[in-house]
Amino acid sequence: MKELLGKSVSDIHELLSAKKIKAVEVAKVFLEHAKANDSKTSAFICHTDELALSQAEAIDNKIANGETLLPLAAIPLALKDNLCVQGYPTTCASKFLENFKPEYDATVVKKLFAAGTLCVGKVNMDEFAMGSSNENSAMKPAKNPWDLSCVPGGSSGGSAIACASGYSMISLGSDTGGSIRLPASFCGVVGMKPSYGVVSRFGLIAFASSLDQIGPMARRVEDVALALSQMQGKDPQDSTSIDASKISGYPVLSVDSVQTLKKESPKEILKGRKIGLIADTIGEGADSCVREATLDAVKRLEAEGATVEEVSLEYNKHVLPVYYLISSSEASANLARFDGVKYGARAKDAKDLNSLYSISRQEGFGPEVKRRIMLGTYALSSGYYDAYYKKAQQVRRLLLEEYDKLFFEQKFDALLMPTCPNTAFKLGEKTEDPLKMYLSDICTIPANLAGLPAISVPFGLDKKNLPIGLQLMAPRLCDDKLLRLAFALEKLAQSKSTVSPLLAASV
């Protein structure tokens, strides 16, 4: 049954429908594989065997009763540990929340459980989603399944590892400045940040509310598309969420549209498409292997009928300071709720209320979280708000206008660039230099600032056999168009891509 580890979502659906396998068998294969191998990768914070098996039994009962199977029935799912699951630990990989168990499910969790997924566990991350390497986890640093001496990327490192290692078929992460796409790139899987508002954030423990977005990861674009089709939609508990069906011209992603997608060839998808190559992203700061992969992708896209033109954006050079000012300011406000009173860690030696706040936060938060809270509090303080936070928001607006001009005036269908200027780096290599670490997000941050959909697709390996990820960005609310282009890019990369050594040894 280990061959199930390498299957697609549609493969599992066909096997279940034909009654060649049972949902409980699927659950056991993935749970056993994860427990046998995760000592190497440290992807999991919490295994949820009992939950997965009970969900699988419910699906087998539906099959026995002749009920119609949903597309994601019996698909193993891993959840980033900042997504609430009722009655199970939700730690955000922080000592502050190590004993916290929410009393409700996040909306996306509820939707995917209703779709029939099997929750195999809560997975590792940078503390409160603040990091690019998954080394900021207060529980344990996670490791890349392609090379255990390397980082998996962050902050959704555990989610990427779970898919790349075959612990799950789909995983959910959150993306504030690249936290889905960067680990997807480093671990050789597909990771998508949907347009802001397409997926409800209710039940996601907030980092930066105007930037956060929940998105899916998988080893195939079609599986990401199927997951997103079940996750999207308006949620009355999240006022920023969108009912896409009521927006004129928005192509609502559905199971049927994913099936149509699978039948199209790259030439059918790409013919007449206009794609912009953001030239600055493959300049001096990019590794030669990343530059070569990007230019190779350009040649393959053009050979299939797309027009690729180099573009540049004046305000792209400001994205790092703008992002870290805005995200840290919002984090400062969001994390003020962690005070040692209502839930989470509480200092035992506090003498009064102020010392309770101070000591609880000092003991509960890690160094990177404290750094960003301090930066954000300073940027929002009296006398500095206009000079820092307000100015960053103004530049953010100018950046958004630049992207609107490219998409709506110059008629680009999508933009192409590396997901990261480099492939996965060694554990500990950048921990002493926060600014060097922050540069890992230089290509992913713009999509969050502008609220655009963006996706990372594996496109070959470097000389060290580490994955290279390429990123596509599309106009706001054009998630369906983005997935079609990503599917074409994936097809063009098939001869260059493979599975992680850890998974290959197990299938």
Q: Report yes or no: 142 and 81 within 8 Å, Cβ to Cβ.
A: no
CB atoms within 10 A of CB 194: 27
| Secondary structure of 5-62 in HEC code, one letter for each residue | HHCCHHHHHHHHHCCCCCHHHHHHHHHHHHHHHHHHHCCEEEECHHHHHHHHHHHHHH
Return d(Cα 376, Cα 319) in angstroms, integer. Answer: 16
Q: Residue 106 is encoded by which pair of tokens? A: 């996040």
* Residues 215, 218, 220, 224, Cα dihedral to 10°: -30
Return d(Cα 213, Cα 311) in angstroms, integer. Answer: 26
CA-based max dimension of the chain: 71
Question: Rounded to an integer, what is the distance from CA 278 to the centroid of its chain?
Answer: 22
Answer left, alpha or beta for residue 203, where phi above 0 means left and psi between -120 and 50 means alpha.
Answer: left
Query: Which contiguous run of DSSP H or E holds residue 109?
Result: helix 107-114
Return d(Cα 140, Cα 145) in angstroms, integer. Answer: 15
Q: Which amino acid is at 121?
A: G
Catalytic residues: 80, 155, 179
**What is the three-class DSSP state of 235?**
strand
Q: Supply the DSSP string of 452-494, one letter for each residue.
A: --EEEEEEEE-TTS-EEEEEEE--TT-HHHHHHHHHHHHHHHG
- CA count, 13 A, side-chain hemisphere, 60: 15
Closest CA to 108 of 240, 200, 239, 192: 200
CB atoms within 10 A of CB 405: 12
Closest CA to 117 of 152, 161, 82, 83: 83
Q: Where are the alpha helices (DSSP H) in 251-390?
A: 255-263, 266-270, 288-303, 319-334, 353-364, 367-380
